[in-house]
Structure formats: structure tokens, C-alpha cells
């Protein structure tokens, strides 16, 4: 018996000690503390939870196995999402241990495409708060509301107003599922500590009539508030966040509509530590895929002509980063712009066309107006075709055949989410380009076996290759502002991790199983550049940056709650009369 207790103490000594003043049910109901049946007998006795758990002791690996068995028993992805979210609610470390055990399996459940379905059903799925809901009626009191959040140290915030959720449009308050899922990947893929992350929903109403008429809708029941009142809310939010959590608090904007996304990014980017993942993150992962594809096409990015189906946040973000990459290769800005073409809902973006936004005007060329995408492809003769307009099936068999006729290795990126909005499937791309197409998508597709018997594994250009590593790097070195070079550097690092074997298999991105290593490499490279460019604020600069950043990474292993008990010399402990 004593030997068993000694073994237990040795195991506890191997784990970091965590102190808590909580006792009894409060421990089991706190997801930061709860270990379920992994609590040792001594921990149970000291924390006053002995008897509240079955008389069974499980290791964390056994708990992971139990969750996996329950996961496989379910057949509906939404039910699987609910299973994982309920786990996150009760045992945080086990949740992230499960995600890390097979990130390729679980990422499509906790994020795209399943999170889109979860957002549509968010009112039914809502169980307990996982973030902060701030409404337009809370103006003047946001600083007070931030104090309601139990954690005083927050390093990263993901905020949305729910107006443009994935390719699903205005989901209002239901959009909270996106910041929650995004921050789960901050931790699972980048190692950012989950208790230092805060999801925020800014509820200004919704223009979605279906939601306004839904008696179970959990948000404000009126049309979206716009104009000065909206801007005042955003200004107050940014000021309140930085006043409470510091100027280095990373604020990621997510799923804002086009009209606000660019405007807010330009307004805040040089004042706060902020970026927009839909614009800059999407751009980075797309350019990473293009840089990897160049190893197949055996030429430079500046040798290509790029045509976008779509001219919104994602398209313009990618276009601007491609422009930067071409300039880095030595092409002039004017010459690079001439290689980039946009197609929006009204057709080809050309000079003289009515109602072009400032962002679109940059890529408007002298050309006759055209509306049909098939005709545009034949006329422009692109070597790269990128879909980001959330129009399912936009890349028709004829377009894919024409791309194959124009290019030995046509680059086809169907980046729209969720899967139902993809411009074409991987199978369609390979079929109609005779297996010569270089394909990437925003949502995952199953492997495709060609008539030759060769199996290709389509690359998924998921932003999760970008934002976790960027967040880890920014937080670790205390970067004050995030410029476009951060995202070009990130794209280069991701592309460098793609092996020749990956390319032979059709992958333009590193396997998802390596995403934590990729995130670490991104973070180290960004921190190196931040210290070189004097944009870091964490000083003194660590001698070994990689070791320092590794030390910041969240551990999914359980801590020990056994009291740090010890004795004094016997003489010192004598009771003095």
C-alpha cells in the first residue's frame, strides 16, 4: 500500500503543481481544473472531492480513448460537434488533448465545415457562455462588461459582428460559434493558452429575416444598426480592450461584411495590434499554396496570370499579397497589377465600370465588359484560377477543360467555404484537367484515385495554417502592430514545410498532423523579424527564441493538485510553552 502511494507521489512530482482555493463541486465544475477520474486519491481527499467521483482512477490516455469511442459512435457531425463542445465545457485539458490526438479528424468538426452548421443551429446548441456578448445597447459600458469576464490576463481576442459568417451570410448573434471555434484552434494548432483567449460577439442586430421571425433566436431582434453608432461601438470596444488588457492584446477581426472589413482594418491596423483573418489570413494561406505550386510549374509567381472568381475581402486580400510577392521577385508594381484580374457579381472588373469600390479600382484594367466566366477564362487565358465568391459549382467542366488546354499544369483553387459553396470538387478538377490540375480547396475533400491508379490528396488551404502561428509569434514577442510582411513571411514558411513527397501526392500544404510544428516555425520566424525590425516589445530579447516560444506553449497534460507539503527541522517545530 505504501509503495503504491510512493509511486503516486513520484508521478505527481513529474507534473507541474497547480494551486487552487476551490474545493468540492467547484473543482469538478471548473473546466480549467477538472480532470474527471484522473484525480489521484490524494488529490481527491485534499480537494474535498473524494466520493463525488466513482472509485476508479483513469489516466488521460484512457480518457481520450473513451471520448474517441463516443465520437465514433455518433454518425452526425453536428452531434460530434456538440460532444466536443460539451467536453470543452467540463474538462479543458482533455478537450485539447483529444484535438491534438488527431487534428486532421477533429478540425473539420470544431471548425469548417461543421462550425457553419453549428452556427446556423447556435440557438439550439447554446449551453453555457464561452465568450462575451456585447450589444449596441451597451455603449458607454463596455469597460464594465469586460470586467465580467473571469480572466484578468487576455492575450488574444477574436471578435465578430456576425454579418458574413463563412459563405452563409448574416447569422447575427449565432455567429459566436466562429470566434469560439477559431480560438480553439489558436490553442490546438498554435499552443496559445486557452484561458488567455476571449471570444467576443458584437450584436448590432441582423438583417436576416428568418432569424428576426424565429422565436428561438438568441440575439437582438431588429435590423442592423449602421453608421456613426456602429463606429462608436467599435471605437469604444477597441479602447476598452486595450485599456484593460494592454496595447499588445491581439484583436482578430472575423467575418465582418466587406463594407466594414477593409474600412476597420485600415482604421485600426496602425493603432492597435490587429488583423483581419478573412482578408490577411486567407491571403497568406492562398499565397503559400501558390508558392508551393511553383515547384511543380517550375517558374516564378510573376510569370503567372491570376483570375479571381470573386472580388470581396478574400479575393482582394489574396490579390494584394500576390502583388507583394511579385514585387519581391523583382516585378514592378504596375506590371504585377496587370497580371491580376477580378470577376465580381457584375462581371469582369474593368476601368470605366460603374460602382467600383476603391479596393477594386486598383485591379481594374482597360478591357471591354464581360459577364460570363467561361468567356472570361477564354479571353484572359489565366494560369491561376482562384474561387472565393461562395458560388458552388462556378468552375464548370468547360472552364476546367479550358484551363487544362491553356496550361500544362493549371492551378485551380476552390477556396470558398463550406463544402457546398466550393467552386468545384477535387474530383472534378482532376477529371476535367486530365490529372494535370494543381488543386487546393478551403474545405476538405477526400483523396481522388486517377484512372492511372495514382491517388492524390487534395490540399486544403485552411487559414488554420496561418492564424495560430501568427498569434503565437505576435504574443510571444509582444508585437505592437501587424503589417502585411507578417503574412508574406508566414506564407513563405508554410510553403517551405511542403516536401517533394507532399507535392507528388497532390498536397500543397504540410499534412495537418504537423500543424503544431508549422505554427512554431512561423512564430519563431515572425519573432526573429520583429526583433530585427524593432517591432517587438518583450525585452530583453531571449537568447534562444525557439526555446523561449516553446516554453510559452500550452500543455495538454494534467497538472498535479497535491499540496506542496514539507517539514521543518524538529527543533524548529517544537511547541514553545
Residues annotated as part of the active site: 111, 182
Q: What are phi and psi of 131, to 5 degrees?
A: -165, -170
- Tell whether the torsion through CA atoms of 143, 146, 148 and 152 is positive or negative: negative
Alpha-carbon distances, residue 571 vs 101, 507, 576 (angstroms):
52, 70, 10
- Do the beta carbons of residue 479 and residue 273 sit within 8 Å? yes
Q: At what angle do helices 545-552 and 515-532 cross, to 10 degrees?
A: 130
First to last CA, the chain: 38
What does the DSSP 8-state code read for residue 445? -
- Do the beta carbons of residue 318 and residue 283 sit within 8 Å? yes
What does 183-216 look like in DSSP terms, one character per residue? HHHHHHHH---GGGEEEEEEE-----HHHHT-TT
- Do the beta carbons of residue 240 and residue 142 sit within 8 Å? yes
72 Cβ contact partners less than 8 Å away, ≥ 6 residues apart: none
Q: Is 307 helix (H, G, I), strand (E, B) or coil?
A: strand
Task: Determine how many CB atoms are found less than 10 A away from the CB of residue 395.
Answer: 26
Q: What is the largest CA-CA distance in the chain?
A: 103
Q: At what angle do helices 515-532 and 467-477 cross, to 10 degrees?
A: 40
Element (H, E) at 448: strand 448-449
Alpha-carbon distances, residue 491 vs 310, 465, 530 (angstroms):
21, 9, 16
Q: Is 243 helix (H, G, I), strand (E, B) or coil?
A: helix
- Do the beta carbons of residue 116 and residue 201 sit within 8 Å? no
Amino acid at each position: 500500500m505504501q509503495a503504491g502511494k510512493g509511486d503516486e507521489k513520484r508521478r505527481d512530482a513529474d507534473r507541474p503543481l497547480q494551486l487552487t482555493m476551490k474545493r468540492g463541486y467547484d473543482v469538478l465544475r471548473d473546466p480549467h481544473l477538472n480532470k474527471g477520474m484522473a484525480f489521484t486519491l490524494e488529490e481527491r481527499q485534499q480537494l474535498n472531492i473524494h466520493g463525488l467521483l466513482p472509485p476508479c482512477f483513469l489516466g488521460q490516455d484512457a480518457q481520450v480513448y473513451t471520448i474517441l469511442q463516443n465520437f465514433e459512435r455518433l454518425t452526425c457531425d453536428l452531434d460530434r460537434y456538440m460532444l466536443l463542445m460539451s467536453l470543452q465545457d467540463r474538462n479543458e485539458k482533455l478537450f485539447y488533448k483529444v484535438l491534438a490526438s488527431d487534428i486532421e479528424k477533429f478540425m473539420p468538426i470544431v471548425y469548417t465545415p461543421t462550425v457553419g452548421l453549428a452556427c446556423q443551429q447556435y440557438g439550439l446548441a447554446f449551453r453555457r457562455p464561452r465568450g462575451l456578448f456585447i450589444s449596441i445597447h451597451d455603449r458607454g459600458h463596455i469597460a464594465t462588461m469586460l470586467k465580467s469576464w473571469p480572466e484578468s490576463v487576455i492575450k488574444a481576442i477574436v471578435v465578430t459582428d456576425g454579418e458574413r459568417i463563412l459563405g452563409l451570410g448574416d447569422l447575427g448573434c449565432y455567429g459566436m460559434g466562429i470566434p469560439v471555434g477559431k480560438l480553439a484552434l489558436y490553442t490546438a494548432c498554435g499552443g496559445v493558452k486557452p484561458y488567455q483567449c476571449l471570444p467576443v460577439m458584437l450584436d448590432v442586430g441582423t438583417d436576416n429575416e428568418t432569424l428576426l421571425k424565429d422565436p428561438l433566436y438568441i440575439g437582438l431582434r431588429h435590423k442592423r444598426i449602421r453608421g456613426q453608432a456602429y463606429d462608436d461601438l467599435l471605437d469604444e470596444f477597441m479602447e476598452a480592450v486595450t485599456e484593460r488588457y494592454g496595447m499588445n492584446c491581439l484583436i482578430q477581426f472575423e467575418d465582418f461584411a466587406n463594407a466594414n472589413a477593409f474600412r476597420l482594418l485600415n482604421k485600426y491596423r496602425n493603432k492597435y495590434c490587429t488583423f483581419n483573418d478573412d482578408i490577411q489570413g486567407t491571403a497568406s494561406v492562398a499565397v503559400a499554396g501558390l508558392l508551393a505550386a511553383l515547384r511543380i510549374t517550375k517558374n516564378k509567381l510573376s510569370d503567372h496570370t491570376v483570375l479571381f472568381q470573386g472580388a470581396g475581402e478574400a479575393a482582394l486580400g489574396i490579390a494584394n499579397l500576390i502583388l507583394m510577392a511579385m514585387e519581391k521577385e523583382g516585378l514592378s508594381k504596375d506590371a504585377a497589377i496587370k497580371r491580376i484580374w477580378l470577376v465580381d457579381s457584375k462581371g469582369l472588373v474593368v476601368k470605366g465600370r460603374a460602382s467600383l469600390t476603391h479596393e477594386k479600382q486598383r485591379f481594374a484594367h482597360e478591357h471591354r465588359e464581360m459577364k460570363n466566366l467561361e468567356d472570361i477564362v477564354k479571353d484572359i487565358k489565366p494560369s491561376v484560377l482562384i474561387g472565393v465568391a461562395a458560388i458552388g459549382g462556378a468552375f464548370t467542366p468547360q472552364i476546367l477543360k479550358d484551363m487544362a488546354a491553356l496550361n500544362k499544369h493549371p492551378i485551380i483553387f476552390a477556396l470558398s467555404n463550406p463544402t457546398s459553396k466550393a467552386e468545384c470538387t477535387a474530383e472534378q478538377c482532376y477529371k476535367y484537367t486530365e490529372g494535370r490540375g494543381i488543386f487546393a480547396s478551403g474545405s476538405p475533400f477526400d483523396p481522388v484515385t486517377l484512372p492511372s491508379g495514382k491517388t492524390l490528396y487534395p490540399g486544403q488551404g485552411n487559414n488554420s495554417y496561418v492564424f495560430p502561428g501568427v498569434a503565437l509569434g505576435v504574443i510571444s514577442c509582444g508585437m505592437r502592430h501587424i503589417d502585411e510582411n507578417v503574412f508574406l513571411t508566414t506564407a513563405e514558411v508554410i510553403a517551405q514545410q511542403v516536401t517533394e513527397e507532399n507535392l507528388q501526392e497532390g498536397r500543397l500544404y504540410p499534412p495537418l498532423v504537423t500543424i503544431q510544428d508549422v505554427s512554431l516555425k512561423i512564430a519563431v520566424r515572425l519573432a526573429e523579424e520583429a526583433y530585427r525590425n524593432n517591432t517587438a516589445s518583450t525585452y530583453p530579447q531571449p537568447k534562444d527564441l525557439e526555446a523561449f516560444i516553446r516554453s510559452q506553449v500550452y500543455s495538454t497534460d494534467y497538472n498535479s493538485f497535491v499540496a506542496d507539503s514539507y517539514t521543518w527541522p524538529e527543533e524548529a517545530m517544537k511547541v514553545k510553552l
